[in-house]
Structure 1
Amino acid sequence: MTASNRLWIVYLARLALLAAAAALAVAPSLFAVRDIAVLTEFLSLLTIAIMWNLLAGYADIVSVGQHAFVGVGAYALFGFAVIAGVNPYLSILLSSGVALIVALPVMVIIFRLRTAYLAVGSWVVAETLMLGAGKLSAFGGGSGVSLPVSVVRSFGHRVADRYATIYWLAFALALAALVATWLLMRSRIGLGLTAMRDDEEGAGVVGVNLIGLRVLCFLWTAPFLGLAGAVITLQKLRIAPPASFSITDWTVYVIFIVVIGGIGSFEGPIIGTVVFFLIREYLSEIGVWHFILLGALSIAVVLVEPRGLWGLIRRWLPADVIPVSRPVRMKTSKETAR
């Protein structure tokens, strides 16, 4: 296949991505309620995957406690909307602020650690927050509590209307996470993050502020995770420590998604989320073999290509489908003389 033909494949892939985004933009008018529920889960998990990929793939923060901020966002939504009586829509936005506030002391704790110690430390912090949430009697204690009907109906009196509203919230969140992170990666900050991904020691030598970028990325992801937790709570209609702070749903599955899709790439989380949901929807009936297949597939992909499925595809493509790097413009002799 010639280079020009491969370039056409990139263009077609970009058109397909835009077509998929257009279909998602009008999904409530195209799909049934059950399909809308699945798409809402897809968009929520995609948002979380984008955030974990930014941390682990670029900033070298391999966190195993990302579910902490999802749970904080869920409980913050309940606290504002139910206990404080704040408007439910405003409560969603406030949940992002609470997640950001909680991220500050958490960052101080876990940033004293590196590599495997950081991963374990982040998990311990998340489990501590989960145990603390179980002690809050106003939030249902260890068994949790359902959202009251008055809060649920504020998003739609009919089931179909409520599902559509929550879907739009998940769609707006995923779009904001994707676009905002893309703009971040297109900036000078993104250039430093790309350098960290490719060669962390070399990036530090040439002047990249490694600590500053890690702090920025950690604080960048927390509000998005808090918002994702709020949207997920609206869909599930209840909070509970094991579910809201689920390490399996919001960390283990997310790690699988990013690793199999392609860590350290913008396309990876999208590909990984699609693969994960295809396996979950069509092979979940086989029971425990469903999880064995997920593990075997991730191991097989990493052995063949550590950069995941996108790494395999990228071998044959001359450019990224979602470009995050700016082309380097060579200075002319006159500009150099100046």
Structure 2
Amino acid sequence: MTPRSTALAAACAGGLMLAALSASALAASLVVEPRMVTEWKAVFGQVEARDEVPARARIGGTLATLEVEEGDTVAAGARIAVVSDEKIAFRTAAIEARLRALQSQLANAEAELARAETLVERGVATRQRVDQLATAAEVVRNEISAATAERSVVVQQGEEGAVLAPAAGRILKVPVTRGAVILPGETVAVLGSGGTFLRLSVPERHAVRLEEGADIEIETGGGLSPGRLAKIYPTIENGRVVADVEVPGLDATFINARLLVRLPVGERSALLLPPAAIVTRAGLDFVRLRVGEGEVERTVLTGGAVRHDGETHVEILTGLKPGDELVLP
């Protein structure tokens, strides 16, 4: 091979290599364009029971037994405590004694009525006397009915000494102790039922941007967990909007535990780059741009990491503008 042909072959090979490098560079370029990213607001939420139901005493008296403590799980209708009132037993005994006396009076009245009817048949007594005795016997019967109904009321009051769980759930509070004197309607225990959720208190300036059904993020020890904004309450209290968040698999070991929640409150435009496109040297961040036929490095100021379309990007605060062509490594 002559020197001229060798040089020509080398030039062709160099041209092919340059074209390949150029094609590779073009394939690894990225045009910087603004993207809409979600603006997040960090607030604290509390783990709360969906329903807090008090189990109340139906009668007053002394708390004879207390069968639950904080943290116990109970079924609906389960007995939580028993309230004892000794006066109920005394009233029951008094009513039963009155009933026995009325039964004796009724037996006597019916016997006199039977004798009077016999005397009327013989013409010795008058019909008026028979009517008087029949009325007296009816009065005693009515008194017996009233006393029986009163006894049923007292017996029912004694049975209502049992404090029952109004719903299935977990015991959150037991504000009384065994042997305490309580009044009718006083709370013996507080149950949490219906599952758990996160309750948020959001500043009212963000209320117009909240939407029911929006996806949110909850920061836990294991990272970010997804959630859904289930309900927004219409009343603003102390400058804050109350909202409920449903979180699958929410840890309900501790009620009123606080978790950091990130709420979507709007959108903004941002320049996002893949982390691999940024090179850090001497504490400065650099990117490589295509300018004409060549490449230059430019210093940029980066912000925090941003999740977009399921991938992590780095936000560029200054140093780039839309339309710049970025050369990826």
TM-score, normalised relative to structure 1: 0.20
More helix by share: 1
TM-score, normalised relative to structure 2: 0.20
More strand by share: 2
